[in-house]
Structure 1
């Protein structure tokens, strides 16, 4: 409404009506602040019945829809609010959250950045942008943004907790422990602080302390779902009292909630440990279905990505680029399907005195334009095809320079990002002398293990539906056949079942393939003290056992879709 319209409406009595709606909006905001959310929504709906475009009412309902995880509805209300008032930083910040939750992460980043341009010292927007940067694979950037948010509000426990989480994801475990310890000192019953400490100690390898903190997270009241899940994967048997509490919490949780999903994954692990595979499978189906609802997955688009990769990176492509890249031999890429043994192989290699294990690095994915960080429109194969010889050398050197910041002296540095199997073509272009270790495992074991695992990021959306999982595995198998046909003489295979059957023989073979002398420490990899920040953080602290073989047979009756993987076994 422009100035002239406002004058006219005031003359006709509408101005007072508008003021009344604005006063109602202030009342609704006050109700929201004290947690009276249903009353807040009722007042807002009354406002919108009189003025459907009211900016503040639409903003509040959008925030309420976000809280209720009704993200598409949140988008509609927030966009309506912004159509009336483009200068509201809170509306842009909440729109960013809604966009992120619906998978539109680049648009989400733009909305949050707009919010901060309008209000640079907006702690919540800084924190939300930090969380988004972490999701996009930029943990260091997330730490920087969270630190700025905490600097603005140093007493804000929610911001400090988020900051601790960013430090944890960035591998700054000492600082993360410091942040969470301070929060716990102020409030020993803080479940999120205890949970953060539990994860930090787990990643550090201090499993007894991790277990104690995770148990404490649920000791002062309601079950803390995330802590219960982490604990269930750390120990082989929870107590009867803990099990009963988790069952009760799952039954009491809202039917389609995120909490119900986490607790279903938790109970699937608990029932698995009891040997009740039918119930474990039932909870798996429920938890995975709920998780799948949270994520977008376009099977056709993913298949097109695989097809394009195989089409572009053919023998002719590499025949024309035989002298591309840098000759540096520092990187060792450990890759394969998630849950195929990549963490184990990295831990074995990192136990060697000449090797540094860097974990799952996003460096190569950023170079290949896969994280959205550079705003590239080209797909990774198109990006690679456009590289000149000089550019390939520069990218290779930049990669080595980046990983050398993590370790200055080791002969080899391991990058254990499983999904780098998509980027073997780029690796061969820019780092032709890098070692590539392909981890393999019985496909039924691999896919069952993925289906049993809750991954906190959203990059593995295919893992939560068995049909999607079987389809994706087929694409992966075809792509690896393609790479093997091109580079079979340089891709080193590390097979999980062979490692279980003959650990010393296989470890010696892997080391020899990397031109490394045998080191006895590699046989006792579980004793190596290093930070591990993956779903396998607890498993790599244990010696090799044969118990993980043929586990899929226990689920064959209850998850018959796994039979679709027989042809790849």
Structure 2
């Protein structure tokens, strides 16, 4: 034990000094003497990530999970489940939380974080069960109420979600995420919540992430009430905070889009017949907030089709095949590592990852918008897959992105009007290129046509995908399956076209966007 402590102190000192190679050896020495040292596995896994060793990083995370379970080291539970989720090991993260002793104080103290991890893994009912238990044992807490609201919203309990968010705000009036979630879920359509949002802002550091959430909440409340001038002021302030906090490399994105356009595509566009495959993926891609969830719900209404939600599984399959942390075509820096990737192996790994959904249906929908930038590689890896790209009109698409606050650093282009215009033009160029080059695999779907003529469009999309069309599929309000996307409150209602031309209420302050979209 004394020797293990010595190695740990040595590894920690080397790690802090930035000597990663020596630190890796020292952590390995710790684990040689104690294979169930969860913290050492986590530290070693972080170093493997820095070294861009994807497979070893995954192995370390799985070994850390085994260590927590074997030793019942529940104090490390949420750290390990977070690492598992970061590496897209959703099933293992869920299993580990289920295996934990929920009565233990160390688990109850982490209940809100663990409930969030279950939510992120799509285990909404398990998340709710943990929250209920924690409420009984430790009492009400604003984080538990907030996570309860998220889970209830995902499963379609709209009233329950509203009450949970209100409870979170009552328990902590400056809880920015709860204010934003409530405004996104059900704005008041009046100015009744404005004063408490202003009070929350007064108690929040300027230019902080929480301040951005509160500004976006103010925008949504003002916008729903038709007060467009103060709504824009709030949106502009929130977007500026996010824009200034995020690091974006527009030149890298432009170069990558050109690289993607020049990628060699499969020699033939003829997609393999879906009857040759027990499991057929359907990718729904495009810019976020452009109708992707509406199309997902339509497809999910068909017999033989199931939606798996927004998956990172294609990136994970590429990462495993390449032993490289692949984050998608838009942000890829090391293109050389992709030149030797076995794309057939990527396809096999992807199908293995989505296989659990094949028990319910043969067609599995993967609705991650960012897979748009993986389209050429998807065509190589999965010759029988279909790719549906949602396209909104330019101003509608860009405004729908601008007025959405995305988690973390996702979609960093979306907080600046000129960046939005650049990104939109790149998407339209690539979409047109891929539809021209792969017409039997890649299909552009106009949002306006989809919501104004849903039956006609849905039938055409079904034919393209090789699905027998069900006329009832357009009744998305009858689809009660869980969804955790940004539009999960809106898609519980019938298809409508209310968002078309929504930007016109803000035409004057959006003139820089119009000008940029019209530019060369």
| Pairwise same-fold verdict (TM > 0.5) | yes
Q: Is the 8 A contact 2:450 2:457 kept in 1?
A: yes
Q: Is the 8 A contact 1:443 1:565 kept in 2?
A: no
Matched, 1:422 2:376: no
Aligned-partner Cα distance in 1 for 2:42–2:340: 38
Match of 1:20 in 2: none
Deviation at 1:198, TM superposition (A): 0.8
Q: Deviations over 1:328-364 (max 9, x none)?
A: 3611111111111111100011011221111111111
Q: Is the 8 A contact 1:332 1:415 kept in 2?
A: yes
Structure 2 residues not aligned, in runs of 5+? 1-8, 31-36
Matched, 1:335 2:280: no
Within a 5 Å distance, the mapping from 1:371-520 to structure 2 comes to 374-375=324-325, 382=336, 385-387=339-341, 392=344, 394-520=345-471
Deviation at 1:151, TM superposition (A): 7.1
Match of 1:279 in 2: 230
Match of 1:181 in 2: 132
Count of equivalent residues: 487
SS at match of 1:545: coil
Deviation at 1:127, TM superposition (A): 2.6
Of residues 239, 244, 249 in structure 2, which corresponds to 1:298?
A: 249
Structure with the greater alpha carbon radius of gyration: 1
Moved more, 479-488 or 169-178: 479-488
Q: Deviations over 1:410-456 (max 9, x none)?
A: 23111111111111111211222222211111122122111111212
Deviation at 1:177, TM superposition (A): 0.7
Q: Deviations over 1:222-276 (max 9, x none)?
A: 2422111111111142665533111110122111222211111111111111222
Of residues 289, 298, 301 in structure 1, which corresponds to 2:240?
A: 289
Within a 5 Å distance, the mapping from 1:247-326 to structure 2 comes to 247-313=198-264, 317-319=265-267
Aligned-partner Cα distance in 2 for 1:199–1:560: 35
Moved more, 147-156 or 535-544: 147-156
Matched, 1:345 2:295: yes
Query: Which has the bigger relative contact order, CA under 8 A and spacing at least 6?
Result: 2
Deviation at 1:176, TM superposition (A): 0.6
Within a 5 Å distance, the mapping from 1:517-556 to structure 2 comes to 517-556=468-507
In structure 2, do the counterparts of structure 1 residues 91 and 250 end up closer, same or farther at CA, with 3 Å as the change threshold? farther
Q: Is the 8 A contact 1:526 1:542 kept in 2?
A: yes
Q: Is the 8 A contact 2:396 2:503 kept in 1?
A: yes
Aligned-partner Cα distance in 2 for 1:203–1:270: 21
Deviation at 1:566, TM superposition (A): 4.0
Aligned-partner Cα distance in 2 for 1:406–1:263: 38
Moved more, 413-422 or 234-243: 234-243
Aligned-partner Cα distance in 1 for 2:292–2:51: 28
SS at match of 2:248: coil
Structure 1 residues not aligned, in runs of 5+? 1-54, 60-77
In structure 2, do the counterparts of structure 1 residues 347 and 372 end up closer, same or farther at CA, with 3 Å as the change threshold? farther
Deviation at 1:398, TM superposition (A): 3.3
Deviation at 1:530, TM superposition (A): 0.4
Within a 5 Å distance, the mapping from 1:13-28 to structure 2 comes to none
Q: Is the 8 A contact 1:370 1:380 kept in 2?
A: no
Within a 5 Å distance, the mapping from 1:2-21 to structure 2 comes to none
Q: Deviations over 1:455-483 (max 9, x none)?
A: 12433222222222222222222222221
Deviation at 1:370, TM superposition (A): 9.6
